[in-house]
Amino acid sequence: KNEVEQSPQNLTAQEGEFITINCSYSVGISALHWLQQHPGGGIVSLFMLSSGKKKHGRLIATINIQEKHSSLHITASHPRDSAVYICAVRPSGSRLTFGEGTQLTVNP
């Protein structure tokens, strides 16, 4: 069992829908990252958070340290949001442990 589990593995939505991707982890962490991997392969860091909630545009990330759980929300989804979303945790130091990713497809 991975230290980081994401759900769902695959998600298909219609444009405009509200999307939630979940991440659960089994170790104590100092921070959690959400990354986006584009269809072309490039990886972009979306958020790094250790408590509470962060918002950037239509993206919202929340974390509950006690429950070892984080969610990434996308409001008013758009086909250009189609990508793989990856959760990664930092137990200590600088090493990141990655989830397997959630493939999101947003249809027009």
Binding status of residue 89 toward another protein by CB under 8 A: no
Complex with another protein: residue 17 or 82, whichever CB lies closer: 82
Shortest Cβ distance from residue 83 to another protein (Å)? 12
2-8: list long-range contacts, CB under 8 Å, 24+ apart. Answer: 2/97, 2/99, 2/100, 3/27, 3/89, 3/91, 3/97, 4/87, 4/88, 4/89, 4/97, 4/98, 4/99, 5/99, 6/85, 6/86, 6/87, 6/99, 6/100, 6/101, 6/102, 7/102, 8/102
Instruction: Looking at residues 54 to 83 of the shown chain, list those that interact with another protein (rule: CB under 8 A).
Output: none
Among 63, 72, 74, 88, binds another protein (CB under 8 A): 88
Residue 27 touches another protein, criterion: CB under 8 A:
no
